[in-house]
Structure 1
Amino acid sequence: MITATAVRHTHPLTTLMARHGLTAAAYLKRVADRHQALGFGAMAHRKEKATRWTREGVTPERTALLAIASLHGIDFADVDRYGWPGFLLLALDDDKAVLESPWTVAGTVTSLTDVGGPVDRRGFLIASTSTLAAAVAQWITAEPALAVTGPGRQVGAEAVGLFDTRLDALRHLDDTVGADEVYDAAVLEIRLITGLLKNASYTETTGRRLFAAGAEASRLAGWCAYDAGRHAAAERHFIASLRASASAKDPTLGAVTLAFWANLRYNANDPHGALHLIDGALADRHKIASPRVMAMLHARAARAHSKAGQPTPAWRQVDAAFDAYSRADVPEADLASMYWINHGELHQVAASSALTLGEHHRALENFDAARTHEDPYDTERETRGTLIYQARQAEAHLALGDIDAALDIGHQVIDAMGGVGSARTTSTLADLRGQFTDHRHIRGVADFLDYTA
């Protein structure tokens, strides 16, 4: 199994040469020929050059970069956009199975089987605007699973129940320790579930429950990949999850996936893509059985509108989120994965939206409400989320000139960060440090920046 750690340390040029079946010398000869054809002149192509590029941190000369890009059909503008070796990831197309498989039961199994290649395209998004639209449209019309009879052993409700129990444990573990370890465990669940879907016999009901478990395992893997900053892997898992929810004939489960996918898109500077996903989930809202899922969708829409600089629709969606939640029953009567949606969570979303929109007093009011409401945000369970929201609260204090309050919360964040693996948490702290930079002349701020460097 390819672990998250292994994924991070594979150089894309090494993988690219291997995929084309080329030695370093043969590959560099092709680059040199392209370099000459582009009018850049002769280029040395000793195999040691590849070693310097892949193992010693040497960046090729500009003309060599352009020759490599031309060799793989990569736009020259992307050389500057992604840099070395990032632009090479555009040549590593690992996404055909999940993007191009038909929206059938067999296509779902194929997409679940392909959990990704050995290269981490950190920060990349694989879904274009047209892909988002097509995914939502096909999710609505995809065929559901039927009974499977054959030589494989019969699988019943007991096996599915075990998957549900294991996934519930992984969700709660993710709350506490973060993404890396849970990602590998979620991928293992996907493989186990897919093995049964491909090789076992089962009734229509059991089959759909297996696909539902596959959808949740893929959704969780996508969330963990996103939390670790691996956007391409996250989108691959979210698309597979959406397909599996369609095969399970479970629109509520698909809406959950679309909400988490939207979170990725608006935080990757695509709030309009996020809104398209949420609109798709809400288009047939009467089929969504969970009030908490409805509240989450409206909350995600609020964040997307705030990221787009649209205060009026953002606050309208905040109101809609609280209204949807007012119809929720106790957590035990709702979807198991929605245990974390409560008044406190919605106030945190309202606070974050206000902060993004520059409404700092309103942000602090909601941050306080998240903690003091009779249905409060669970700071003990939601360790990672608490750190992120505290850092945002410190930003609001800082924007209002209350440096002492901002520093106090900032130190609380630092003290609590140990043992939580999350790229989002690290990024949020980096944003907070950036906000403090203009105040470095203050002794306490300088000490904080030095301590967190």
Structure 2
Amino acid sequence: MGAGLRKVRAARGWSQERLVREIEQFARRHVIDVASTASLKVYVSEWENERRTISDRYAAILRRLLGVTDDELRASSPAAVPEMADGYDELLARIDSARSVSESMVKAFNDQTEVLRTMDRERGASSLVDQMTGHLSRLEDTLSFAVLPSARRPVALALVGASTLAAWQAIDAGSVDRAWRHYELAKRAARDAEAPTHLAHATAEQAYVLMEAGRPGLGVDLIREAHRSLGRAGSPRLQAWLHAAEAELCAHAEMPDDARRALDAATAVIPSGPEVRDPDLASIFLNGGHLARWRGHVLAMLGDGGAVSSLYDALEAMDPTFVRAQAGLHIDLAHAHLVRGEYDDADTQVRQARLLANRTGSVRQRRRIDRLNSKL
């Protein structure tokens, strides 16, 4: 049980003392009682060395602080509960309930996903793990007992949107295994809904898990396969997103020529105007301004010193509610300044990025910041 807590604490770069401070700060913010500092230090040590079981009360605090599920925290899975032999009445009741899923209920599912997406954008993923887990569970449960395609398809599409969001949050929290499983769930739901555009997007986004795991070349292959399977279908915005994602993975895979070609392809098809949302894929936020920011990120990864001006332009135009994206921009600027040998400017951008990354609790961005710090 203690291995889970120790692993996720280490992923955040926190010492045991830091975790104790975070627990105390959380308790003060939410006006709840916790043990004294001395006792908490003992608890953390005993939890990690499996001499004390994490109580449900402290587990709820730790999940929100560390952005993990209960299984990841406790490093164990609950024992399977055997099914009752006489459970037919309950089964039929759940099937009947799923048959009556209305448009308003599906809209409620999608609205909840949108609320979680907005909260994630502004506050980060760490505090949303319990809510996201419950939301996915309700969607999966509804889909499991929906019999006819007419009832399954809208729920499956809602599940695709929720599970890709959950997967991206898991990447941000440094949990690549959970992210991979959420993308697999999204792909199954997209196939169930017979939605090739949703399947292509979920498959291509899954490539970011490979990138984070140190296999960007394989990620490039996965994005290209997703794009080939889609062909000319899908909106111009989705096509532009797929090209831009390929460019980013190519940059990480040290394929500069391929990255630049993919960037040019994205620029050629991106729709004009200020609209950012795709009509069919609510998880895609992309217009010319966003693509310029993406281009700056890719050029910074390629070591192009000319990325600085476009990144500053993107930072000035950015929606201030995109807190995590702002942190990413500051990281890109730091990288671009380093390429130009502008160490003071790079250090300023790193410090700003760290402040924003701390606000959202992003493990992924902290890792990028740590890599930059080693070069300053």
> Does the 8 Å contact 2:203/2:223 carry over to 1?
yes
Aligned to 1:179: 125
Aligned to 1:198: 144
Determine which of 387, 391, 397 is the counterpart of 2:331.
391
Do the aligned partners of residues 261 and 154 (structure 1) sit closer, same or farther apart at CA in structure 2, a change above 3 Å counting? Answer: same
Q: State TM-score, norm by structure 1.
A: 0.60
Aligned to 2:108: 162
Determine which of 391, 411, 432 is the counterpart of 2:351.
411
> Does the 8 Å contact 2:126/2:360 carry over to 1?
no
Determine which of 337, 340, 346 is the counterpart of 1:400.
340
Aligned to 2:32: none
State how far apart, in whole Å, the 1-side matches of 2:292 and 2:118 are: 21
Aligned to 2:366: 426
Do the aligned partners of residues 329 and 209 (structure 1) sit closer, same or farther apart at CA in structure 2, a change above 3 Å counting? Answer: farther
The residue type equivalent to 2:5 in the other structure is H
C-alpha distance after superposition, 1:223-276 (max 9, x if no partner): 111110011111011111111111011111112212321122123221222122
The residue type equivalent to 1:166 in the other structure is Q
**Aligned ranges 1:325-404 → 2 under 5 Å:** 325-326=270-271, 330-331=275-276, 334-335=279-280, 337-338=282-283, 340-359=285-304, 361-371=305-315, 376-378=317-319, 380-404=320-344
Cα distance, 1:116 vs structure 2: 8.6
Name structure 1 gaps, 5 residues minimum: 13-50, 58-114, 123-148, 437-453
The residue type equivalent to 1:318 in the other structure is L
CA RMSD of aligned residues (A): 3.3
Do the aligned partners of residues 426 and 348 (structure 1) sit closer, same or farther apart at CA in structure 2, a change above 3 Å counting? Answer: same
C-alpha distance after superposition, 1:65-121 (max 9, x if no partner): xxxxxxxxxxxxxxxxxxxxxxxxxxxxxxxxxxxxxxxxxxxxxxxxxx9982479
Do the aligned partners of residues 332 and 321 (structure 1) sit closer, same or farther apart at CA in structure 2, a change above 3 Å counting? Answer: closer
Aligned to 1:91: none
C-alpha distance after superposition, 1:122-162 (max 9, x if no partner): 9xxxxxxxxxxxxxxxxxxxxxxxxxx96445212111111
Structure 2 residue 74 is matched with structure 1 residue 118: no
Cα distance, 1:434 vs structure 2: 1.1
- Look up the SS of the partner of 1:419 in the other structure: helix
Q: How many residues align?
A: 305
State how far apart, in whole Å, the 2-side matches of 1:164 and 1:293 are: 20
Structure 2 residue 173 is matched with structure 1 residue 228: yes
State how far apart, in whole Å, the 1-side matches of 2:145 and 2:2 are: 29
Structure 2 residue 49 is matched with structure 1 residue 55: yes
Aligned to 2:42: none
State how far apart, in whole Å, the 1-side matches of 2:138 and 2:158 are: 10
Aligned to 2:14: none
Do the aligned partners of residues 188 and 418 (structure 1) sit closer, same or farther apart at CA in structure 2, a change above 3 Å counting? Answer: same
C-alpha distance after superposition, 1:169-216 (max 9, x if no partner): 111111111112233322211111122223356x53331010111122
Determine which of 255, 280, 304 is the counterpart of 2:249.
304
The residue type equivalent to 1:118 in the other structure is D
State how far apart, in whole Å, the 2-side matches of 1:180 and 1:212 are: 25
Name structure 2 gaps, 5 residues minimum: 9-44, 52-67, 76-93
State how far apart, in whole Å, the 2-side matches of 1:241 and 1:427 are: 26
